[in-house]
Copies of this chain bind each other. A is one copy, B any other.
């Protein structure tokens, strides 16, 4: 009967012969897809992920490391002194956009929530279809050409700076200005 060698628990969906299961081993853990979503929104720095997600620091560090190891984010030093790091989404992350788009639409449509954000084709303003295509232009919109347009359902005065920056229309991947701790 040759028992499978006990590989304990972990991220593995042991016996599955299925690329969905393989994908979930990589991005299926708690928080992971939200980290990737934020990376596509333009979040790049540890502290910005932290405040925008409300994720425990240790978990964030673990996820960033795992995503870097999987080639989904790239860790870069953006200044030497003091040493500062950023995490930039790779093509692997961009390739997840259709999945994230369709998942978000599923959530809103099936549980009829208020429209929080419109995703539009920046060239023509048309709202994207189910998987991120532009129905008017009949093409899959490249991620940098997706416009994130705030909808009526959003809190007009959020606590963290990332959410505040997301109250203005902006493109995916466009990095955030790290506000120089000014005013108030």
Contacts and interface: CB of A to CB of B under 8 A. Distances in A.
State the oligomeric state as a number of copies: 2
Interface residues of A, number: 50
Contacts of A140: 130
Interface stretch (A60-68, A74-82, A91-99, A174-182): A91-99
A158 B19 CA distance: 17
Contact of A23 (B13, B29, B107): B107
A18 B37 contact: yes
A23 B103 contact: yes
Contact of A18 (B17, B26, B71, B104): B104
Interface string A26-62: 1011110110010000000000000001100000000
In the complex, the 10 A-B pairs of residues with the closest C-beta atoms, listed nearest first: A23-B107, A131-B131, A19-B107, A19-B108, A20-B104, A19-B104, A99-B102, A22-B107, A15-B54, A98-B102
